[in-house]
Structure 1
Amino acid sequence: MSALVLLTAAGCADGGSGPTAARAAAPGASGVVSGPPWYDEVAPARAAGTVGAGRSACQLPITFSVPARWVAEPVDDGSAMTLGGSRLRCEVDAKPAGNVGFLRVWAAEEGTLDVRASLEDFLAEHGRVSEIEYRHVRRGPLDLVEATYLQRNELSGGPNRQRALAAQTPGGAILLTFGGMDTGEFEAMFPAYQLATSTVRATTR
């Protein structure tokens, strides 16, 4: 598993309740919540490309940076999975970079403005999810809602750490989800998630 690299800045925590347990994280004096479940101390990976606009494979209401060899593929509307009213729009695959996991972008139904509700609905339908925690974070110009949670692995039966982020765009709520084959893969790939969330912006047309 890749070593976790220290970072000096992160978002603030906020309380709330969700479809399952949803306690607020408790940041230290610096505002950083170290270690599980938030991993705020992990530094972002180096950017090597942008997903969401321009020449990206996925044209999205948001843009974000990804590391080298993470490959974005659009999801055909006719076969796209839908969870909690949000439809899968794009998958960014880590396999070419040597890990097993994805960043995925989901679009809520057009006009959906409540990003917290969109995230709660998504996780409620996701299934096998426990230990959900929510917080409000600031990433660049955007105020976002972020969730950390465990999902039971269908093969091993063990818990698998996952993350999700919800952003508001002019067309409605957009979700960015992240996870790997297991928690070890999740931690190894986490710098890529930190990169994506620290660079997420609404797409300008």
Structure 2
Amino acid sequence: MTLPTRTVPVLAALLAGVLLTGCGGPEPIAGATPGPRPTPSSTPSGASAVARVGADGSACPLPVSFGIAAGWKPRAVEAPEDPDLAELLRQGPAEMVCEIDAKPAGNIGFLRVWTVRGGNPASAIEGFVKAGEQPYGIALRETTAGTGAGSVLAAEVLYTVLDELTQESKKERAFAVTAPGGTVIVHLGGFDTAEHQAMLPAYELARTSLRTAP
């Protein structure tokens, strides 16, 4: 499936086409091809869940829960009292609340969970992407998170950023869903594009196993 490429200035117009709630049901994202609906057999090989994160008592209590792959280590992220340091944990309207480290599993990167108070997945992911490191080549699609009767409509973005440290381009992606209290964004970065690709099974595991009730 070929995903449409857009530049940042038109992201708002595209995302505005997503209505993730409402009596009339979800409307498709304007200009985007719907992604495949996940099924229990669609999770990439090598990404079986060994634990869930998000429920009370887990490393990161969250408004959602999802499976994590072997070796990945979650930790809750709490905002420091210093406002300058706290700002480092924000990206646009989103605040980082959980970081799941891939290094123990042999990769360099993280799955990071961000929350947005109020709003909806469309506006949340728009603000999140636009506040990142020089995003471009944005491809937007409509997909779902979870499986079966518990699945929910999600907005997903695939894009490229210019790393300010290395001055090299790398792929990133994120999906957003409505959750109690607002919106949850699950983001996958990585040291470089090769690391990003290697960690995709863990990202897809999070998406396909997500539940909005932890």
TM-score (norm 2): 0.75
From 52, 55, 58, the equivalent of 1:53 is: 55
1:108-187 pair list within 5 angstroms: 108-109=116-117, 111-112=118-119, 114-139=120-145, 140=147, 141-187=151-197
Q: How many residues align?
A: 181
Which ranges of 4 or more aligned residues in structure 1 deviate by more than 6 Å?
Answer: 12-18
How far off is 1:189 after superposition? 1.1
Picking from 90, 94, 97, the partner of 1:89 is 97
Q: Provide closer, same or farther for how the CA distance between residues 192 and 41 of structure 1 changes in structure 2, counting only shifts above 3 A.
A: closer
Q: Residues of 1 paired with 2:181 and 2:2: CA distance?
A: 27
Q: Match of 1:130, as an amino acid?
A: Y
Q: Show structure 2 runs of 5+ residues with no match.
A: 12-30
> What SS does structure 1 have at the residue aligned with 2:65?
strand
Task: For 1:145 and 1:13, locate their aligned partners in 2 and report how far apart those are by CA, in whole Å.
Answer: 16
Change (3 A) 1:150 1:82: same
Distance change in 2, residues 1:18/1:203 (3 Å):
farther
Distance 1:16 1:153 in 2: 20
The separation in 2 between residues aligned to 1:42 and 1:182, in whole angstroms, is 20
Q: Secondary structure at the match of 1:197?
A: helix
**Structure 1 residues 64 and 41: alpha-carbon distance in aligned structure 2, compared to 1, 3 A threshold:** closer
Kindly report the root-mean-square deviation, in angstroms, between the aligned alpha carbons of the 2 structures: 2.7
Q: Which runs of 5+ in 1 are unaligned?
A: 1-11, 33-39
Distance 2:128 2:79 in 1: 18
Task: Give the superposition deviation at 1:58.
Answer: 0.2
Greater share of helix: 2
